[in-house]
Structure 1
Amino acid sequence: MQDIDLLVQPRWLIPVQPEGLVLEHHAMAVRDGRIVAVLPADEAVRQYRPAQSVELPDHALLPGFVNLHTHAAMSLMRGLADDLPLMRWLNEHIWPAEAAAVSEAYVADGTRLACAEFIRSGQTCFNDMYFFPETAADVINETGMRAGLGLIVIDFPTVYASDADDYLHKALAAHDRLKGAPHIHPVLAPHGPYTVSDAPLRKLRAYANELGLPIHMHVHETADEVQGQLAATGQRPLERLEALDLLDSDFIAVHMTQLTDDEIARVARYGMHVAHCPQSNLKLASGFCPVAKLLDAGVNVGIGTDGAASNNDLDLLDEMRTAAMLAKAVAGQPSAVAAPRALTMATMGGARALGIADEIGSLEAGKAADFIAIDLSDISTQPVYNPIAQIVYSAARHQITDTFVGGRALMRRRQLLTVDGDAAVASAARWQETLRTFMAHDRRDTA
């Protein structure tokens, strides 16, 4: 018998690759944080001697969800300004609040609160875009999660940097500090076409090529963005980015609600990736990403929650359901984005976009043991005819009982093990008072 660290025995094992496959009464063997084998449970018991066994008789085991777009620290602004269009939401509420409150301490506490929610929602990896990325990295390492860490670039001054060159300098310094960290994957993160000018975007392309980093950017988020770029540059955003040589197979375009058929073909031709954030787009009335058309064109699509300030939660399981349902309505086809494809988007889609699909996104021998367990014995998911469909269309995040990253338990039986949830909530309450005070002063100043 071979000694291993962990043997997991669920009722159903869903490897995601091949898409739609469900294995019953199989087990997964883990050693040194990696998957050794996926095999029938009776064979596993004969072949392996585990230091720890996890038996999950009512559960489905699947890869951890990969949240392809979020702003983790903005969890502290959840519910701060609701029911507003994007630019009014940003200009009148979010950006002024950030100027008043954001600091390294704010980012640490906000990221910690988000990580607690991510873990409880079955997310093992997230792709972030926010200020003070090195501070966020410290928290991510502390919690044991995996992340694509955005090195943000904007033209205008914030509490983090003074101008585009300062952002770029800090991005490179953060990359140098973080490269080689096992769970941190730096990503260049220009905010959007309307907040970053041509010169820094050209520099970002050169850095991406030199350092081998993805680029993560809001693109074609709203009709106003597209019209604004046309008025300012004479080009639609994608057309401008193409002229700047920014588009390539390392580019992750977020939202993409305003696309022509020619633009979809362009996205496919460059091998770009799309981060689809359906609930944020719905809440801000930004539009509908043509997911089915993108998939039909061969484009890789992942799913993101966006930040809790615009969603207002970080529940990727629920986001996956919304993505599947909305795609059917937009395409006018009930077969568009079937349940297995939605699950692929929520796992392998994000992993491919971040360039780490050889490491995470599916349960296969040799990959990191990043996985979650969902209890399907709940009344709301009985009876179980098809576990994948049940997860996509019926399950809720309270049914996610276990979250592991690299073979390490971050949550067992719904108990957080690497984040103090009570302390995170207490910190959120303190920041709420800070923001409430700012908002009260701001209302008096503008009255």
Structure 2
Amino acid sequence: MADLLVSGGTVISMDGARRVIADGAVAVTGDTIVAVGPRAEVEAAHAAPKRIDARGKAILPGLIDGHAHAGHGLVKTMGSGDSAAWSEACRIIYTLASPPEFWRAEAALAALEQLKFGITTSVMLLGGGDSIGRVDDPAHGDAHVAGVNAIGIRRIMVLGPTRPPFPRPYRGVDGTVRDVAFEQQAETIATLVERHHGKGRITCATLMPVYREATHDPAKVAEIEEQGRVIRDIGTQAGTLFHQDGHRSGSIEMADRMFGLLGPDAWLSHCTDLTEEDIATLVRTGASVVHNPSAIAAVRGFCPAIAMMDAGVTVMLGSDGTAPDRSTDMFRHMFQAMRYHQRAARDESLLPPGKALEMITIDAAKGLGMADRVGSLEVGKQADIITVDLHAPHMLPANMPVHRVVYFAGGGDVRDVVVAGDILMRDRVVPHVDEAAVREDADGATAAMLAQAGLSAMVAEDPGWGRTRRG
């Protein structure tokens, strides 16, 4: 006797054999998958009180977003495409104009977006850039976790300090502005890791800023080394992963050689314009990469994802979302990744759809140290399952299901979402969430943030009518 059957659809298992099973089924007991196979066989062996009729749908493992930013969900419309102004606004907001209520409302909105896009596991840095973390007081991280838990997806909350010089001004929960030293930020990170890592569907990771500039100042090197040891020790003692955001042009080799930050528990984002030494460092240390093909960083530089994968590096995809020009729709980012590399090499054979799908399922799970739990539909793994409509006009004719899912589906084609055996969305309805209340809370928190930050002018829209360039 199982608890749940998802049956009648085309199972795209992402298991070791990459089985695609027409008229297949998945049986779930508790939070665990107990059978995957042809519908007739699974249903004969497993009755269940709960069922999802997947006829006309693809059945896949839940999608994984390997890199995104908490907070961005309420600032993504600001700036009319001026990325420098937008980044500066994020710095102001995340340090001086974002009380706990902001982080709770944003987390619920962003998690609801991801749930409805079929993302069951997501990485979120608690803040923007590589070093604008909201780590002055645990209240903000607590609020973020509360918002995510109200929706029910899995979250890896990434926590890291700002970059020197210290102290850094933050507006506290009592409304006063105080200078916050590295030591207080590290204490906040340690508290949040202890409080939330491995609790329910929340895990944590630690982060250090990326140092791209070569430095010959022994005092600065010593400061960075010491801070890196402190942050790494927090994560090591708790068994967390380690992340860095924004590597490029020699910084990976530098992070390992000068600061000893890398290892098989590390995954690094963007990774553009890498040197041969950078790629060799990834291979030697076992660190993984999250490629963000839709991000501005991928415009300003080139991520050699194909070369890294050919060298044996695990590469996943991330949305880097949300942001002024992108959502967290991983179907969109898959297609962007394929065209990005095909156009760069003038080679349409690169990054076939099967590999792209691996990069948001089983490869992402491997890179995040979760391949024994999620990323594929296999007996013994957690029951993170989604269905995708295959009968919409843009999804026909009814052949080549993997091709159709990767090339033609969008986040809005996800119909059902199961996380750890719990049905969180059925036929696009999220019954445990008052979506109107989530929207209302988000709008209220946004208005309060704009007023406190004095940045209301940044939501004046300039679409660029009649111009071929912004500005």
* TM-score in same-fold range (> 0.5): yes
Distance in 2 between the 1:191 and 1:431 partners?
A: 28
Name 2:381's counterpart in structure 1: 367
Distance in 1 between the 2:368 and 2:9 partners?
A: 31
Specify every segment of 5 or more residues in structure 1 that has no aligned partner in the other structure, as ranges.
227-234
CA-based RMSD = 2.3
Name 2:186's counterpart in structure 1: 168
Name 1:341's counterpart in structure 2: 355
For 1:152-301, list aligned pairs within 5 A: 152-155=160-163, 156=166, 157=168, 158-159=170-171, 162-193=180-211, 197-220=224-247, 236=251, 238-281=253-296, 285-301=299-315
Residue type matched to 1:41 in 2? R
Q: Structure 1's 332 and 295: CA in aligned 2 closer, same or farther, altered over 3 A?
A: farther
- Per-residue Cα deviation, 1:222-261 (whole angstroms, up to 9, x for no partner): xxxx5xxxxxxxx745314432110111111011112123
For 1:45-60, list aligned pairs within 5 A: 45-60=43-58
Distance in 2 between the 1:10 and 1:322 partners?
A: 31
Distance in 2 between the 1:125 and 1:327 partners?
A: 25
Q: Structure 1's 431 and 180: CA in aligned 2 closer, same or farther, altered over 3 A?
A: closer
Name 2:87's counterpart in structure 1: 90
Distance in 2 between the 1:22 and 1:326 partners?
A: 27
The secondary structure found in structure 2 opposite 1:128 is strand
8 Å Cα contact 2:383-2:419 kept in structure 1: yes
8 Å Cα contact 2:81-2:324 kept in structure 1: no
- Per-residue Cα deviation, 1:44-95 (whole angstroms, up to 9, x for no partner): 222112111221110000011111111133200011124234x55323x221
For 1:116-127, list aligned pairs within 5 A: 116-127=112-123
8 Å Cα contact 1:80-1:309 kept in structure 2: no
- Per-residue Cα deviation, 1:326-346 (whole angstroms, up to 9, x for no partner): 122233332221111111110
The secondary structure found in structure 2 opposite 1:372 is strand
- Per-residue Cα deviation, 1:154-184 (whole angstroms, up to 9, x for no partner): 2352347812221211111111112341311
Q: Structure 1's 88 and 433: CA in aligned 2 closer, same or farther, altered over 3 A?
A: closer
Residue type matched to 1:358 in 2? D
TM-score between the two structures when normalised by the length of structure 2: 0.85
Name 1:415's counterpart in structure 2: 429
8 Å Cα contact 2:160-2:207 kept in structure 1: yes
Name 2:147's counterpart in structure 1: 139
Q: Structure 1's 251 and 133: CA in aligned 2 closer, same or farther, altered over 3 A?
A: same
- Residues 1:81 and 2:86 aligned together: no
8 Å Cα contact 2:64-2:361 kept in structure 1: yes
The secondary structure found in structure 2 opposite 1:11 is strand
Offset, 1:291: 1.0
- Residues 1:128 and 2:143 aligned together: no
Is 109-118 or 198-207 further displaced after alignment?
Answer: 198-207
Distance in 1 between the 2:291 and 2:187 partners?
A: 30
Specify every segment of 5 or more residues in structure 2 that has no aligned partner in the other structure, as ranges.
127-133, 135-139, 173-178, 214-222, 459-471
Residue type matched to 1:406 in 2? A
Distance in 1 between the 2:239 and 2:285 partners?
A: 16
Number of equivalenced pairs: 427
Name 1:11's counterpart in structure 2: 9
- Per-residue Cα deviation, 1:375-418 (whole angstroms, up to 9, x for no partner): 01011111133111111111122211011101111111011223
| Aligned sequence identity (%) | 26
Name 2:175's counterpart in structure 1: none
8 Å Cα contact 1:4-1:29 kept in structure 2: yes
Offset, 1:435: 4.0
The secondary structure found in structure 2 opposite 1:416 is coil
For 1:19-34, list aligned pairs within 5 A: 20-34=18-32
Offset, 1:312: 2.8
